[in-house]
Amino acid sequence: MSDTAKQPVAYVRDTMLEQKPAPLSQIGAVRWIKENLFSGWFNSILTLVSIFVIYKILAGTLPWMLGGVWSAGSLSECRDILNAKFGNTHYACWAVLTERWNQLLYGFYPSTEYWRANLAFFLMLLAIAPILFDALPRKLLWISAAFPFLMVWLVWGGTIWGPVGIAVGFVIGALAMKVLVRFGDVLALIGAVVAAIVWWMFIGPSVVDALDASLPIGHLKEVESRELGGFMICVIIGIAGIALSLPIGVVLALGRQSDLFIVKVICVGFIEFIRGVPLITLLFTASLILNYFLPPNTNFDLTIRVIIMVTMFSSAYMAEVIRGGLAALPKGQYEAADALGLDYWKAQRLIIMPQALKISIPGIVNTFIGLFKDTTLVMFIGIFDMLGLSNAIRANSAWNGVYWELFIFIGLVFWASCFAMSQYSQWLERKLRTDHH
């Protein structure tokens, strides 16, 4: 027997080692901090400098914010309270929000009718929920369809027949399209628009007036548009502009790529003209010039005029965003639609447009956020939004000198709204992802 065979086996394990947790430096918060904040000497210096800057900012702002006064009748009274408590006035006077929050949110809307504005806001959330989340019951879409008419009735008041008359116009248009579709899609669309306009302009007003006089159902106290304001008017204009600009933008984008020369020229001219004009110019047009083109003794509500101009402005930008999505779509998708024998509208509805809209989600939401923030420009044409009301509050001798408190509150309200839209768009992008990266 050789010497190698005589040597015993050094070690053979007959039991498993007991499982132990990973080192603390390789898991959890410690690992994240090491990889993201102190991964190298340069990142470590940037992290320390950033911590110092954040500390200095918070050290200056937190005492100012948390040590403020929430109950006072004027700025002078607020300063007296601060002097008695701290010996100086270097703290916030939040009392202006405690006293004027309802004005910032509702404008000059009658306080006894706040329930109508609150109900309209709740119905708005209920109406957009099934549109944004397909997991909700589809029956809720009936609330979505009825909400625009309910909102008009709740916010402006009057009887229920006015909004019903407007809704009947859409029903008549849909019926006309259903009847005329056998003669072609374009003719059916034109006939539907004509039928609805004839009802709204000539027949509907007389029918509504007769019903108002004989059967005033659901009469609410009428509120004029000049009494609307604050965050309420921003929501009304913003939601209306968002809801209307997306379908109009889709039509304009398709029209710009159309082979029909007249359609293409009209769409290109509209888009380029609107994009070349500042929104404030269109708002002044809505406020001052538009009345000159209307028949004598015509009362065209200012809020409706502003919604029309804001929608036109947003639609032009929306059309370019969607056109970018259409251009990014591979040519093979169009060829696949042709190979399946689909006509133009079916191809757009089933294959082309869903993919183009998915590609365009970031740009669409970016346009929506910009539109919602641009609603503050209405202050320049005499509509008191939140910024306009902040100026009105500061013009009062009791609160003359208050700045930061009002602007911080307004900024937080808009940030919360825009952040919610941004988070939804990111969630929708993740939900619609079809790649596996």
- Which domains, ranges and CATH numbers included, belong to the chain? 20-66 (no CATH), 68-98 (no CATH), 159-219 (no CATH), 227-432 (1.10.3720.10)
Give whole-number Cα distances, 248 to 128, 168, 251, in Å: 19, 21, 5
Work out the number of other CB atoms within 10 angstroms of the CB of residue 411: 12
d(CA 154, CA 119): 8
d(CA 101, CA 103): 5
Three-state DSSP class for 295? coil
Burial of residue 184 (number of CB atoms within 10 Å: 0-12, 13-18, 19+): exposed
Q: Which of 324, 411, 402 is nearest to 373 (CA)?
A: 411
Written as tens digits, the pLDDT of the chain (437 aa) is 555 555 565 667 677 778 777 776 666 777 888 888 888 889 899 999 999 999 999 998 888 888 888 888 888 999 898 888 888 888 889 999 999 999 999 999 999 999 999 999 999 999 999 999 988 888 889 999 999 999 999 999 988 998 999 999 999 999 998 888 888 777 888 889 899 999 988 898 889 989 888 888 888 999 988 899 999 999 999 999 999 999 999 999 999 988 888 989 999 999 999 999 999 988 888 887 777 766 666 677 888 889 999 999 999 999 999 999 988 888 888 888 888 888 877 888 888 888 888 989 999 999 999 999 999 999 888 889 999 999 989 888 888 888 889 999 999 999 999 999 999 999 988 888 766 44
Question: What is this structure's pTM?
Answer: 0.84
Give whole-number Cα distances, 418 to 239, 268, 358, 366, in Å: 12, 30, 20, 9
d(CA 404, CA 417): 20
Structure tokens at 43: 């990142």
